[in-house]
Amino acid sequence: MEEGRGNRGYPAPIWPGSIRIGWIGVGVMGAAMAARLEAAGYDLTIYARTTSKASGLHGRLVASPAAAAASSDVVFTMVGHPSDVRAAILDPVSGALPALPSGGVLVDCTSSEPALAVAIAAAARKKGCFAVDAPVSGGDVGARDGKLAILAGGEQEVINWLSPLFDLLGKVTWLGAPGSGQSGKIANQIAVAGSVVGVSEALVFARKVGLDEKAFLEAVRSGAAGSKVMEIFGERILQRDFKPGGFAEYLVKDLGMGLERGGGGGPEEMVVLPGGALFQQLYLGMVANGDGKMGMQGLITVFERMNGMAKE
């Protein structure tokens, strides 16, 4: 056990200046989350594949995930796809885990595969480190405001130890063993996708029959049809603001993981998801139209095209 480390081997306690943080991935979500940690007084060592995306951050930029991890106690990853997670963490030359000091903690906030989270946790323990899968929900607004839902899988004691950092980003909920956070995120994405489908289709119907869309939203938002999705995306849809909090193509990926694996990190079981399959097909329509880099609220453009109502 290293001097100054807790009884499980990771540093204790957490406060600005007491731990070193590495951050890998500074897209829309990652940059906002990293900025919250910096604003709280934490110093970050940052790896950004596109360095210009880190321009709003103050941390030290390094050339690889390994370099970000080598001098860190906790390393966050917020990248795009499971293949990016695998490369950023497990690559034997440039990956974070091979370079992470003993007792270090990996926190993957990417929406990724439950089975990969299980494999990373096993590899981390073999090295004397810890790994938590902690994907988030709440979009760019939640990331900026520190109101993300954080769905965590891994050792509960480690997640509790990380709570001062998680509290700056949102509310963390421990869901179980490694992979459970990712399974929870897949379930979340099924629910979110369905809600966006409902809001989009309702607005297209309202417009088609001559209702004022803004008045319609105001009328129903406090009733049973109201939802967090409506609050986040309703006005954006009316304003034709399709900037991404997360790319629509990422939602296609997340739904695909649910359809392929049923979200399970353990023994796989068949899960029939007819709604999830339909939602993915609709979002694939966005991708086919060249709109995969839009936010998920851009789904309304698919319904508009179906109804001959396409707008610029």
Residues that are catalytic: 185
The residue among 288, 308, 295, 205 whose CA lies nearest residue 251 is 295
3-state SS, residue 57: coil
Do residues 199 and 207 make contact, with C-beta atoms less than 8 angstroms apart?
Answer: no
Tokens (6 digits) for 92: 């034997």
Record the tokens describing residue 214, joined without a space: 């803004």
Beta-carbon contacts of residue 97 (< 8 Å; ≥ 6 apart): 69, 89, 90, 106, 120, 123, 124, 127, 129, 131
Judge if the upstream peptide bond of residue 267 is cis by omega within 30 degrees of 0. no
Amino acid in the structure at residue 59: G
148 CB neighbour count, 10 Å cutoff: 27
Upper half-sphere CA count for residue 266 (Cβ side, 13 Å): 5
DSSP 11: B
How many CB atoms are closer than 10 A to CB 248? 27
Q: Which residue has the tokens 């880099």?
A: 293
